[in-house]
Structure 1
Amino acid sequence: MRALLNIRGKSQFDQDIQAAYQPSACGPVTAFVMLQYHFPSACPYDVNELYRLLGGTKIGLFKWRFIRNMRKLLGTRWTVAECNIEEVMRQIDDGRIVAAKFDKWFNFRWRGGFAFDYHWVPVIGYEKVSDDLRLIIHDNGGRNRPSQVRQISYNRNKPVLSFVKVEPKS
């Protein structure tokens, strides 16, 4: 089984993002991609504004701040909450992207072949492959490289992964 959403990714190293923010802009870039997806012609913020509004720091964006400040930005008509992998798949099936946070440092998982040490990415799809679930993500780019679609193993990265959904209330 495979589900994939068509979204436009963004690199955290794009020229329109302040140089001082770029190394730690993955959280605001992920939020920007989500907001652009939900409000294609009316996203009111750029990444630099989101960096400040969400509470970005040089060491990154904490999950609790992402949730709290996205709730403030979107208001009471939206749900912003942590979710599990079953909810991630349901969100994708319902046509919504999900924010994934890789965090080996604050989970005290220093060893392991994780896709990222500390990084936010938009999850845009998934695919069940034999005994594993592959998450399809936009990786938020690199220096001189645009964001790319990648597949990562959920099972291998599970110890350092958490997810945040953003959905309209019904």
Structure 2
Amino acid sequence: MDKIKKILTINGKSQYDEDINEAFRPFACGPVTARIIMDQFPPDDCPYDINELFILLGTTKIGLFKSRFIRNMRKLLGSAWIVTECDINDVKKQILNGRPVAAKFDKWFNFRWRGGYEFDYHWVPVIGYEKKDGDIELIIHDNGARNRPSQVRQVSYKKNKAVLSFVMIEPK
């Protein structure tokens, strides 16, 4: 019954935009997510574009591992930043404090072959949430796909919980 809803305004981006190296596009959801989140902070804090982030974060043709995302974002941003895995309660706190959170959907490395998850493997920024009918609807900016533009969507936390992990990035 408690209908809390909070949505952040961001400048979304598709991983298939023309300014992203064509060879990187199918695997660029992690670097795009990182750049979208960092765009919420002062511009000099992360001067890298998505193509540079693709390489600096250690993205591969099978994606960007969460541990690499965390380790390499810490290196890039320095000691003035906190980059760490977090849970759904932290996600809600970050959103309420005006900070988007990186979400990784990953059924492959979680060994969850079945379940009707929103994505098999995809990084997206969480830009809001809504408590609804005993669930938390995550409001995400989907970075798009080859034949699907980037867009804001709502996904069920409860339905996707088994394949979801979150990374928060905040200044100290």
Whether contact under 8 Å (2:26, 2:145) holds in the other structure is no
What residue is the counterpart of 1:82 in the other structure? Answer: 85
Alpha-carbon separation, structure 2, partners of 1:167 and 1:43: 12
**Mapped pair 1:157 → 2:157:** no
What residue is the counterpart of 1:38 in the other structure? Answer: 41
Q: CA deviation at 1:145?
A: 4.3
Whether contact under 8 Å (1:80, 1:164) holds in the other structure is yes
Matches within 5 A, 1:1-170: 1-40=4-43, 43-143=46-146, 145-169=148-172
- Deviation readout 1:52-103 (Å, 9 max, x if unpaired): 0000000000000000000011100100000000000000001100000000
Runs of 4+ in 1 over 4 A off after TM superposition: 40-43
> In the comparison of the two structures, how many residue pairs are matched?
169
Alpha-carbon separation, structure 2, partners of 1:82 and 1:42: 20
Q: Compute the TM-score of the two structures, normalised by the length of structure 1.
A: 0.96
Whether contact under 8 Å (2:82, 2:169) holds in the other structure is yes
Segment of structure 1 superposing worse, 154-163 or 35-44? 35-44
Whether contact under 8 Å (1:13, 1:144) holds in the other structure is no
Q: Compute the TM-score of the two structures, normalised by the length of structure 2.
A: 0.95
Give SS of 1:141's match.
Answer: coil
Q: 1:36 to 1:55 in 2, by over 3 A?
A: same
Instruction: State the identity %.
Output: 68
Amino acid paired to 2:63 = G
Structure 1: gaps of 5 or more residues: none
Structure 2: gaps of 5 or more residues: none
Alpha-carbon separation, structure 1, partners of 2:105 and 2:18: 25
What CA RMSD, in Å, does the superposition of the two structures yield over aligned residues? 1.2
Give SS of 1:66's match.
Answer: helix
